[in-house]
Amino acid sequence: MSHPLHIEPLALNIGALISGVDLREPLPAEQVAAIRQALIQWKVIFFRDQPLSHEQHIGFARQFGELTVGHPVFGSVEGYPEVYSVSKTRFGKRFEGPKLIRPWTGWHTDVTAAINPPAASILRGVTIPPFGGDTQWTNLEAAYDALSPTLRGFLETLRGEHRFTAPEGMAGKREFHDKVAARELVSLHPLVRVHPESGRRSLYVSPGFLKRIDGLTPRESEQLLALLFEHVIQPEFTVRFKWSEGAIAFWDNRSTAHLAPRELTELNHDRQLYRITLVGDIPVGVNGLHSEVLAGEPVLAYAAAQG
């Protein structure tokens, strides 16, 4: 009989630290179920002091679903096709010239440009700077609940276009642009998504990928998106995590958005993390409002992608 997990909430609406488990070994069924339930309840869960190898990271993730290729556009770690390297320098110097920074710049939900965005992501800290480099997450279900009933009802009828593009202000990165062009991903998703396990509704907006609202004029779309993007990153919906070597962050990609640290290029310290994502389903909105692929293929499990 396994010991019960200790789950410590970190913020009112999102985030919990789980202890009392060794992720290097296969978990008993009751611990897998408890971790899955904590993930759905707290949206992002954290573990510390888990020095996993790539193989152990893959083994832990497989207990919760099928694994995608590391990244559908940027590839994977050599020899480990399910693992994506999240390094400080993976894009080099991202910006040249003045940066266009809005309050929501950098916030995103992973790969929502795909018709079936990943269900969850599992990020492992390996090389951690002594300060800085924190990651933040926001609860999109709490953000939806905080809207007026009138606005919620209107948003439930709408879909948004999610497109994989180069970040604003990025220049001189031909290799980056070539990879994006070779793996075009564009999808229409409901602005309000119904969680396939909990049945709860979330404001399914990903500032990094959501470019326009279908059926609105450009100006209407621009203004409504600005309102929604600013709304979902309000502090009361968020949690901030300070990384340590061996820390794990496991988040529900169906109900959260997150922000990678913007100050990394200014830090004189290395930062290396590794990410695995779980195959997701096609989002479904209220009253059966469906997603629609405009360009690209679904993000498949690694084995299926090879077949």
Single-letter amino acid, residue 127: T
Tokens of 31: 């611990």
pLDDT of 167 reads: 56
- Distance (Å, whole) CA 86 – CA 244: 15
Alpha-carbon dihedral angle through residues 213, 251, 239, 244, given to the nearest 10 degrees: -140
As to burial, measured by CB atoms within 10 angstroms (0-12 exposed, 13-18 middle, 19+ buried), residue 141 is buried
How many other C-beta atoms can be found within 10 angstroms of the C-beta atom of residue 180? Answer: 18
Q: Which residue has the tokens 């690694």?
A: 302
Give the pLDDT confidence of 189-245 residue by residue, as tens digits. Answer: 999 999 999 999 999 999 999 999 999 999 999 999 999 999 999 999 999 999 999
Report which DSSP code applies to 236.
Answer: G
Output phi, psi for 92, to 5 deg: 65, -150
Give the pLDDT confidence of 233-270 residue by residue, as tens digits. Answer: 999 999 999 999 999 999 999 999 999 988 877 788 89
160 SS3 class: strand
Give the pLDDT confidence of 172-188 residue by residue, as tens digits. Answer: 456 556 666 667 899 99
Q: Average pLDDT in the 28-57 region? A: 98
Rg over alpha carbons for the chain, rounded to the nearest Å, is 19
pLDDT of 165 reads: 78
Output phi, psi for 278, to 5 deg: -100, 140
Yes or no: say if 140 and 232 are a contact pair by the CB < 8 Å rule. yes
Q: Average pLDDT in the 146-172 region? A: 85
Alpha-carbon dihedral angle through residues 167, 133, 202, 62, given to the nearest 10 degrees: 100
- Say yes or no to pLDDT of 106 above 80: yes
Q: Which of 201, 189, 199, 194 is nearest to 145 (CA)?
A: 201
Domains of the chain from N-terminus onward:
6-306 (3.60.130.10)
pLDDT of 187 reads: 97
Residues marked active site are found at 108, 110, 258, 275
- Say yes or no to pLDDT of 95 above 80: no
**In percent, how much of the chain has pLDDT > 70?**
89
Q: Which of 88, 195, 82, 177 is nearest to 133 (CA)?
A: 88
Give the pLDDT confidence of 129-157 residue by residue, as tens digits. Answer: 999 999 999 999 999 999 999 999 999 99
Residue 2 binned pLDDT confidence (cut-offs 50, 70, 90): low
Residue 91 binned pLDDT confidence (cut-offs 50, 70, 90): very low
Residue 301 binned pLDDT confidence (cut-offs 50, 70, 90): confident
**In percent, how much of the chain has pLDDT > 90?**
77
Q: Which of 38, 92, 63 is nearest to 251 (CA)?
A: 38
